[in-house]
Structure 1
Amino acid sequence: MSITADVTTGTAAARAERVTRVYGTGATGVTALDEVTIAMPRGRFTAVMGPSGSGKSTLMHCMAGLDRVDGGEVYIGDTALSPLGDRRLTALRRDRIGFVFQAFNLVPTLSALENITLPMDVAGRRPDAAWVDRIIDTVGLRRRLSHRPSELSGGQQQRVACARALASRPEIVFADEPTGNLDSRSSGEVLAFLRGSVREFGQTVVMVTHDPAAAGYADQVVFLSDGRIVDRMEAPTADRVLERMKGFDTAPERGPGENS
């Protein structure tokens, strides 16, 4: 039985209403999301978890406007994404959404500072210097701003990526397995920064993860299985999340783009 994870629309930074996403057609089609309804509350840290092939990465990609839905609707604030053309959707992602991905996605020829301000530079907007300074101090890379990604550790690169996601003051930050390539110390640094951005800046963060320890940094965890929301957990701990995850049977891969 699917659980609807919803909150009052006015408090949601992003929401999905009866969203369906199918990969392939006919007998070979795979339903990655099956009429999912969920809202991500403003100013909170939400972790999305589930077994491999559960639909968690697909859900994040659809809610972030990186993938189109086959049914239902996704909203950023009160803006529906389906009616938007490619240009308006690109502008919305640039201006209202921040992204942090497992692979960092930094430009190797740019310095750390240039990577942080890149989205605003591309948009032709002047960064808010005071805000960017605050983010830089919070992320703890003041002395490494002139370094290129190859001169930074994995944890430092991911902290640059987190700072870049926050520098334009987005309405919501989506993070897809942001600690997947990091050791435990670097993972803790990145997760503490994301947690701090919620507590100190009122940021909204949605993180897809398979790691119970990472989920323990969140305010709430939403669990998916077979493309449906099956449970929620408030004030999670790593042990409680691990115990809940043990209840899931191993699921087959669901389709292209859903590897986690």
Structure 2
Amino acid sequence: MSTPRHTRNVSGPRPPSAHGAASYAAVATGLRKVYGEGETEVRALDDVSVGFRSGEFTAIMGPSGSGKSTLMHCMAGLDKISGGSVRLGDVELASLDDNGLTHLRRDRLGFIFQAFNLLPTLTALENITLPLDIAGRAADPEWLDKVVETVGLGHRLDHRPAQLSGGQQQRVACARALAGRPEIIFADEPTGNLDSHSGTEVLNFLRASVTEAGQTIVMVTHDAVAASYADRVLFLADGRIVDDMAEPTPDRVLERMRAFNRKPGEPAAAAVSVLPL
């Protein structure tokens, strides 16, 4: 992927709200996720505490098996946690039953994955508004126009997925995630199936949705260039957050990732807490 050309808020931390603290879309405290028992036990997440600020683009990186996707799935209510707490806005996920989690994911969250997951018989516009149609909610015309303008596919809205390039299909998937004005969007390797040019298109769109529309995005990625589009990068290793980088660049991210390739016998990096103050 080529060097990014994008505009990011580089003015430092966001100003305090009227209540004296930044607004957080999601917060995890002492989060643990364990698979298996006894000798087969695997701690995918080990006492993770982190807050994701509203209107900010956060990338999550780390070696394979470090817990990146597990953290995102637990924060989004897609996977049950083994311990600790996860809050989305004012809602504690552990207080919700399966039906409540389904409604929360449908009404307050957006999702973008490697696979575009577009319905081939629907037009781009129909794919964008599909979650709202299923929920029986009418789209906000002004907001939908803004999303369509940001995605840059106004002239392709009547085309079906097969008539769109991979990058255009993923931008439709991104617009679908935005259409319901979710409080936070979780993106799992959204450029993983795209070539360099298409990946840049999608990342520019995600960046614009944050800068121009105030969207909150949490993106798992293995790509240093993709991570540089974010306002901050969290680094995971062995199920723990070990670094929190502001104003990332591809070179800085790559340098940090190389530190994970430690020699056998060397101690693991110390965990850090990045909870809101």
Q: Structure 1 length normalisation: TM-score?
A: 0.91
**Residue 224 of structure 2: which of 212, 237, 244 is its match?**
212
- Counterpart for residue 178 of structure 1: 190
Structure 2: distance between partners of 1:234 and 1:165: 25
Give unpaired runs (5+ residues) of structure 2.
1-15, 264-277
Higher-Rg member (1/2) = 2
- Counterpart for residue 69 of structure 2: 57
C-alpha contact (below 8 Å) 1:52/1:250 kept by paired residues? no
**Residue 127 of structure 2: which of 103, 115, 140 is its match?**
115
What are the superposed Cα offsets for residues 197-229 of structure 1, whole Å, 9 maximum, x if unpaired? 111111111000000000000000000000000
Structure 1: distance between partners of 2:155 and 2:36: 49
Over the matched positions of the two proteins, sequence identity in percent amounts to 66
What are the superposed Cα offsets for residues 140-165 of structure 1, whole Å, 9 maximum, x if unpaired? 11121122212211101100010001
State the 4+ residue runs in structure 1 displaced beyond 4 angstroms.
7-10
> Does residue 1:85 correspond to 2:134, yes or no?
no
Q: Name which of structure 1's ranges 136-145 and 157-166 shifts more when overlaid on structure 2.
A: 136-145
Give unpaired runs (5+ residues) of structure 1.
1-6, 252-260
Structure 2: distance between partners of 1:146 and 1:29: 50
- Counterpart for residue 97 of structure 1: 109
CA shift for structure 1 position 56: 0.5
- Counterpart for residue 88 of structure 2: 76
Q: Which letter does structure 2 place at the counterpart of 1:50? A: G
Structure 1: distance between partners of 2:97 and 2:178: 25
Spell out the pairing of 1:1-260 with structure 2 (5 A cutoff).
11-249=23-261
SS of aligned partner of 1:37 = strand
CA shift for structure 1 position 78: 1.4
Structure 1: distance between partners of 2:162 and 2:212: 30
Q: Structure 2 length normalisation: TM-score?
A: 0.86
Structure 2: distance between partners of 1:214 and 1:148: 27
Count of residue correspondences: 245
C-alpha contact (below 8 Å) 1:216/1:236 kept by paired residues? yes
Coordinate RMSD, CA, aligned: 1.6
CA shift for structure 1 position 99: 0.6
